[in-house]
Amino acid sequence: MTALYNFGAGPAMLPREILLDVQAELLDWNNQGMSILEIGHRTAPFQNLMQQLEDDLRDLLAIPENYSVLFLGGAARANFALIPMNLITPGQVGAYCVSGVWSKMAYTECAKLSRAYCVSSSEADGFNHAPYEMSQPLNHNTAYVYYTPNETINGVRFAQKPLHGEFPLVADMTSCLLSEPIQIEDYGLIFAGAQKNIAPAGLTIVIVRNDLLDRKPETCIPTMFDYRTHVAHKSLYATPPTFNCYFAAKMFQWIKKQGGISTIYQQNCEKSALLYDFIDTSVLYKCAIEKSSRSLMNVCFSLIRAELESDFLTKALEHGLYGLQGHRMVGGLRASIYNAMPMSGVQKLIEFMREYEESVASEV
Ligand SMILES: Cc1ncc(COP(=O)(O)O)c(C=O)c1O
């Protein structure tokens, strides 16, 4: 079968050259006479790989020394619970900006511990913009301000950080880490599942300012759920997702080869602008997200004639364009255009969308 352009939101498209590289060395990694899939995580070659992985991420994001970098197994959403468990001390609460499905889920998880309050929300507007406006001032006992810079399901992006006063900012960057420049010092904690821009699913990266881990949470945290454990053991307390780490190491090298994050960001701006411009000038497609809040990674749109959606998706697939359905919770259509999606994929999508629009023109 010929290769498709994969617009799925994650697990997502990965650079072909990395996949070929992995294929070439799958049976014999690093002259070890065996596959990376079989190598122990405490062997010297693997520990070297972990060191390189961390060094390259630190280099790409200019992560200062007073931050720890963790490479953990498991789902990104585990951090919805780990963050309050680790960072909220007795009498404190977490402040949440609710801008879409993922931040709402994180807020709800913290609320289960009776430790959350919502400082801003765009839910009443159908999550059509990033809610910068605070609905109330930040409480003096705020442990952190939490937000999701890119809402993968809703296609909403914070172009600026929310107001957070003197409190640490916590960000779920699952669908945007390494897609645009960030200033690490602006954040207390960042976490990101790898399955969009970094590696196959199963790895979550956490970048945390060390002083936040001096906090003394109220209840005893199980060892595995305590960030301090993973800092102390340099991500090797439990068996890490070894293949994902190996893949991520290749991805960091690939990003460097592309020219680093600033070049990647420029490409992401160009790709998304082309697609949004086309949608805005068409008669069949529309994007409900306010222009200033539109995601660079997940372009959510719909058809003026919603009943054509399944026909659109079928024909798109016939043209080699895969994964364009919106998330089941919100419906509609979505083109996820992560770092690995080339401009040619976006151009091919637009070409198809234009042809499709013309083919149903008499009915619109
Ligand atoms: C922004 C964001 N946060 C959290 C998650 C949850 O990731 P996981 O399925 O690894 O828990 C996702 C998944 O798509 C996401 O896009």
The mean predicted confidence, pLDDT, of the chain is: 96
CA terminus-to-terminus distance, the chain: 34
> Cβ atoms within 10 A of the Cβ of 361, count?
10
- How large is the average pLDDT for residues 189-215? 98
Catalytic residue among 196, 226, 250, 271: 196
Ligand 1: distance of its center to the CA of 62 in Å?
24
Ligand 1: distance of its center to the CA of 105 in Å?
10
Instruction: Report the atom number in ligand 1 closest to the C-alpha of 74.
Output: 10
Query: Residue 27 gets which letter from DSSP?
Result: S
Beta bridge partners of 318: none
Our answer on whether the CB atom of 327 is closer than 6 Å to any ligand 1 atom is no
Q: Which amino acid, 43?
A: T
- Residue with the bigger pLDDT between 136 and 355: it is 355
C-alpha dihedral (318, 321, 323, 324), degrees to nearest 10: -100
Q: Which amino acid, 256?
A: K
CA angle 312, 314, 316 (to 5 degrees): 65
Ligand 1: distance of its center to the CA of 358 in Å?
36
Our answer on whether the CB atom of 79 is closer than 6 Å to any ligand 1 atom is no
Ligand 1: distance of its center to the CA of 100 in Å?
12
- How large is the average pLDDT for residues 291-315? 97
- How large is the average pLDDT for residues 285-293? 98
Q: What is the pLDDT of residues 236-267, one digit of tens each?
A: 999 999 999 999 999 999 999 999 999 999 99
Instruction: Report the atom number in ligand 1 closest to the C-alpha of 195.
Output: 10
Report residue 86 as tokens: 């680790």
Instruction: Report the atom number in ligand 1 closest to the C-alpha of 152.
Output: 16
Q: What is the pLDDT of residues 110-153, one digit of tens each?
A: 999 889 999 999 999 999 999 998 888 999 999 999 999 999 99
Our answer on whether the CB atom of 149 is closer than 6 Å to any ligand 1 atom is no
Instruction: Report the atom number in ligand 1 closest to the C-alpha of 176.
Output: 1
- The kind and range of the H/E element at 279 are helix 261-281
In this prediction, residue 363 carries a pLDDT of 66
Ligand 1: distance of its center to the CA of 212 in Å?
23
Our answer on whether the CB atom of 76 is closer than 6 Å to any ligand 1 atom is yes
Residue that the structure tokens 């596959």 belong to: 35
Our answer on whether the CB atom of 172 is closer than 6 Å to any ligand 1 atom is yes
Catalytic residue among 29, 56, 172, 226: 172
Distance between CA atoms of residues 142 and 128, nearest Å: 27
Distance between CA atoms of residues 205 and 245, nearest Å: 10
Catalytic, 102? Answer: yes
Q: What is the pLDDT of residues 39-97, one digit of tens each?
A: 999 999 999 999 999 999 999 999 999 999 999 999 999 999 999 999 999 999 999 99
Catalytic, 271? Answer: no
Full 3-state SS string of 114-158: CCEEEEEECHHHCCCCCCCCCCCCCCCCEEEEEECCEECCCCEEC
Our answer on whether the CB atom of 323 is closer than 6 Å to any ligand 1 atom is no
Ligand 1: distance of its center to the CA of 30 in Å?
32
Q: Treating both helix axes as pointing N-terminal to C-terminal, what angle do 101-112 and 78-87 enclose, rounded to 10 degrees?
A: 50
Confidence of residue 201 (pLDDT cuts 50, 70, 90): very high
Our answer on whether the CB atom of 148 is closer than 6 Å to any ligand 1 atom is yes
In this prediction, residue 364 carries a pLDDT of 56
Catalytic, 196? Answer: yes
Our answer on whether the CB atom of 152 is closer than 6 Å to any ligand 1 atom is yes
